[in-house]
Chain A
Amino acid sequence: MSEPRQVNRAYQSQLRRNWWLKHGYYQRYMLREATVLPLLFFCGCLLTGLYSLQHSEQSWLNWLAFMATPWVIGLNLLTFFASLFHAKTFFELFPRVLPILPAPLMIAGQWLGTLSVALLLALLLGGVL
């Protein structure tokens, strides 16, 4: 008599660590999540700047010199684009989570906010205000 045939159970595939590389949609998601990495660098810059400002004039000048180093400018340029990409995704998600007004209106309003803040800061530091 033959042995009863061994029947396997259902096949369960396991997600691998690189699952997010498999599809453009997931890559974009991971890119969105990764925008916080350059943000952390800029937060570090701000924190050291705040420390320098309360410490002494010399350390403030040192911080300004540090901020003008080419690699720091480069990294902050990356942070700038990361913040814009984050803003785009965040602004588009917001009206879906809290649908108060028509989505295009809410998205435009948020961009207007970002633009106003940048303009206000530029005018303030530019000595116009």
Chain B
Amino acid sequence: MTQPTRSDEPIWWALFSAGGVCFAVLIPGLILTLAIAYPLGLLPENALDYAQIRQWLFSDYWGLAGLVLVGAGLCLPLFHAMHRVHHGMHDLMLRAGGWGKVLCYGSASLLSVLALYFWYLGLSAS
């Protein structure tokens, strides 16, 4: 029996798993506060004050909170999501071959870099 080539899945699976933890632990709280409670007026009017949020995410402790938010709230969940999209395409018999993989993990990488860039811009402006 020929020996199969080693799959690169461990990389994507590790990112997927880490993203899954973020999706389960961090995202519910983020949605609840940012996307439901605040828009519905359940939080104080100044809860998402421009200067305050900028200070938290871009100034305090060298913008560490912003980096954590970008990493755990955006980059990892993006890799989580695109990993499931990639396997979902196989489940739905959409045979995209290597291009499907490039498209899925490529878009997750691109958006992650973009998020980090926005954080960096905020950091250098503050």
Residues of A in contact with B (beta carbons under 8 Å apart):
15, 17, 20, 30, 33-37, 39-40, 42-43, 45-47, 49-51, 53-54, 57, 60-61, 64, 67-68, 72-73, 76-77, 79-80, 83-84, 86-87, 90-91, 110, 113-114, 117-122, 125-127
CB atoms of B81 and A50 under 8 A apart:
no
6 A-B pairs in the complex with CB atoms less than 8 angstroms apart:
A45-B35, A49-B34, A114-B24, A118-B33, A125-B38, A125-B47
A53 partner, pick from B33, B40, B54, B77, beta carbons under 8 A = B54
The dominant DSSP class at the B interface is helix
Contact with A along B78-107 (1 / 0, CB 8 A): 101110110110011100000000000000
Separation of A125 and B35 alpha carbons in the complex (Å): 13
CB closest residue in chain B, given A77? B36
Are A72 and B35 interface neighbours, CB within 8 A?
yes
Distance in angstroms between the alpha carbons of A64 and B121 in the assembled complex: 20
- Interface residues on chain B, number (Cβ under 8 Å): 53
Q: Which of B32, B53, B54 is in CB contact (< 8 Å) with A80?
A: B32
Which residue of chain B has the shortest Cβ distance to A88 in the bound complex? B24
Which residues of chain B are near A83, meaning CB under 8 Å?
23-24, 27-28, 31
Q: Are B118 and A121 in contact (CB under 8 A)?
A: no
B77 & A87 in contact (Cβ 8 Å cutoff): no
Known: A36-B81, A122-B37. A114 touches B118 (CB 8 A): no
Which residues of the partner chain A approach B29 to less than 8 Å between Cβ atoms? 114, 117-122
Say how far B99's CB is from chain A's closest CB, in angstroms.
Answer: 19
Contact B84 A80 (CB under 8 A): no
A20, B54: Cα distance in complex, Å: 46
